[in-house]
């Protein structure tokens, strides 16, 4: 009996190139949080490089836990784990409230450790919510994941610095468009292995095209060390402050909610639906990876939604491919010069490839919704309202400006709010007080008179 595609081990070269493609897709998302937090603290260039390398190293460890697994830890799905962006706002708030900036990272690390351990203990209870995620909910959430990530790609396409004079210039947008076109042409006119690594080839070709335009910076490679190990507690022993712990525990709940949605999404894509046991194991990997991460100077870890798009597009479902990607992350954490090679890829080139990756996630959600029975019940109402709630942070970023900062951590995540809305509406319309004749209502704009007539 042949192995499920998720458990398939591909030829070495194919494993290496497709694993590197996963790293390329998520690299910007991993390095952005340490760069933002480090800049807020006022770290030197060398310290920023160290912190970034540490986050790459811990992302690799967390990816190993998720893909390969040990005991009851790890979803054993092709999941890439890395620093969650949900923690950036509260971490910068912690930095701002810390009088001695040298204590900021130890305070953050202490809070992450506690949040990770509490999340690990809560994982089996959190996973029991899986029965409240039917296709109408999972399809909505998967669609929201893709929609929520697309603005990231659009931002990348405009350039790395919103304050720069060339941000959103014709050159930057042109490079993004050319990269997108290259990926599409490779997907349309090539076959086999070349077709599967179209995104990686698009990034390489796009970077080469960008060189004459002066937007490709090779300085990170020249300045980087060849070898560098993330020394444990390099920035000081963890400190435990209640306010910081509470703040990052809220982030952990948000992260676990998004990871649950991501696992359900990926399970659908790879045709190995994530059940309660899988979700519990996956959440344990997320939370344990987060608890371990501060030991090596990393931040809270979570599953990366953008890599789901890569799996959906390439159809390569092997978890071992992603484990190889985790290996590359560890190596880049140990070799700053190797890490800097990925940093050479201009942000507009990443943006062009991101349109395909993140759009693929949204398309996968629509495919799931097709199977959700939108012609029945009030499922279309569930989808309509949940999508609207989830899109609020994208279309109206200041919508929740009057709410407390801790509440905004949740409310500003369209994936989390849309997921909560979908689950709640599904309970109301499809579970609580449900009548046998409810399924005859086919559309929220219909009066239902034809049903009475039919009877």
Of 172-186, 194-208, 441-455, the least confident:
441-455
pLDDT at 121: 94
For 84-88, 133-137, 201-205, 401-405, which range has the lowest pLDDT when averaged over its residues? Answer: 84-88
Q: Which of 236, 304, 245 is nearest to 91 (CA)?
A: 245
What total of structural domains would you count in the chain? Answer: 1
Q: Answer for the pair 240, 103: CB distance below 8 angstroms, yes or no.
A: no
pLDDT of residue 447: 44
CA dihedral 46→51→57→59, nearest 10 degrees, is -150
pLDDT of amino acid 398: 87
Element of type H or E holding 117: helix 104-126
- pLDDT (0 to 100) of residue 178: 96
**122-126, 375-379, 417-421, 429-433: which is most confident:** 122-126
Give how far Cα 173 sits from Cα of 147, 169, 176, 179, 214, Å: 20, 6, 5, 10, 14
CA distance 279 to 141: 16
Encode pLDDT of 222-262 as tens digits: 776 777 778 888 898 999 988 788 878 877 887 787 788 78
Task: Tell me how far CA of residue 85 lies from CA of 21, 26, 144, 152, 434, in angstroms.
Answer: 21, 12, 16, 12, 39
Q: pTM for the whole thing? A: 0.69
% of the chain at pLDDT higher than 90: 24
Distance CA 428, CA 336 (A): 52
Q: What number is the average pLDDT over the span 359-387?
A: 83
- Asked if pLDDT for residue 453 goes beyond 50, the answer is no
DSSP track, 50-113: HHHHHHHHHHHHHHHHHHT-BTTB---SS--EEE-GGGHHHHHHHHHH-SSGGGHHHHHHHHHH
pLDDT tens figures, 90-117: 788 788 778 788 888 999 999 999 999 9
- The mean pLDDT of 15-44, rounded to a whole number, is 80
Confidence of residue 339 (pLDDT cuts 50, 70, 90): low
Residue 185 makes CB contacts below 8 A (sequence gap 6+) with: none
pLDDT at residue 407, rounded to an integer:
74
Which residue range(s) make up the domain with 162? 5-454
> What does the alpha-carbon distance between residue 49 and residue 355 come to, in Å, rounded to a whole number?
28
pLDDT, tens digit, 9 for 90 and up, residues 418-432: 888 888 898 898 877
Cα–Cα distance measured from residue 131 to residue 277, given in angstroms and rounded to the nearest whole number = 12
């Amino acid at each position: 009996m042949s192995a499920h595609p998720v458990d398939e081990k591909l030829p070495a070269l194919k494993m290496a190139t497709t694993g590197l493609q996963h790293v390329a897709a998520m690299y910007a998302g991993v390095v952005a949080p340490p760069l933002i937090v480090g800049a807020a603290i006022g770290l030197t260039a060398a310290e920023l490089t160290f912190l970034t390398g540490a986050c790459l190293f811990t992302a690799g460890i967390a990816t190993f836990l998720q893909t390969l697994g040990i005991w009851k830890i790890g979803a054993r799905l092709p999941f890439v784990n890395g620093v969650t962006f949900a923690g950036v706002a509260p971490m910068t708030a912690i930095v701002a409230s810390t009088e001695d900036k040298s204590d900021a990272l130890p305070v953050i690390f202490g809070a992450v450790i506690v949040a990770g351990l509490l999340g690990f203990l809560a994982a089996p209870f959190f996973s029991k919510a899986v029965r409240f995620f039917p296709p109408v909910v999972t399809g909505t959430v998967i669609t929201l994941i893709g929609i929520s990530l697309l603005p990231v790609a659009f931002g990348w396409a405009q350039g790395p610095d919103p304050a720069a004079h060339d941000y959103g210039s014709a050159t930057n947008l042109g490079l993004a468009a050319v990269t997108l076109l290259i990926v599409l042409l490779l997907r349309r006119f090539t076959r086999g292995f070349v077709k599967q690594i179209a995104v990686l080839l698009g990034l390489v070709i796009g970077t080469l095209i960008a060189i004459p335009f002066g937007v490709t910076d090779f300085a990170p490679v020249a300045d980087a060390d060849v070898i560098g190990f993330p020394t444990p507690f390099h920035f000081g022993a963890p400190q435990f402050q209640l306010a910081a712990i509470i703040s990052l525990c809220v982030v952990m709940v948000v992260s676990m909610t998004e990871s649950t949605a991501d696992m359900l999404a990926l399970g659908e894509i790879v045709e190995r639906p994530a059940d309660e046991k899988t979700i519990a194991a996956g959440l344990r990997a997320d939370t344990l990876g987060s608890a371990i991460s501060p030991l090596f100077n990393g931040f809270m870890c979570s599953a990366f939604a953008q890599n789901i798009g890569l799996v959906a597009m390439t159809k390569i479902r092997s978890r071992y491919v992603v484990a190889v990607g985790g290996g590359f992350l560890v190596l880049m954490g140990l070799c700053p010069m190797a890490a800097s090679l990925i940093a050479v890829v201009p942000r507009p080139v990443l943006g062009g490839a991101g349109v395909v990756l993140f759009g693929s996630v949204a398309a996968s959600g629509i495919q799931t919704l097709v199977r959700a029975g939108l012609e029945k019940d009030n499922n279309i109402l569930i989808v309509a309202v949940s999508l609207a709630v989830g899109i609020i942070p994208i279309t109206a970023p200041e919508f929740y400006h009057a709410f407390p900062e801790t509440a905004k951590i949740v409310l500003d995540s369209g994936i989390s709010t849309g997921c909560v809305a979908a689950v709640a509406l599904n309970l109301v319309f499809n579970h609580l007080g449900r009548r046998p004749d409810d399924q005859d209502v086919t559309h929220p704009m219909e009066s239902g008179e034809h049903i009475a007539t039919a009877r």
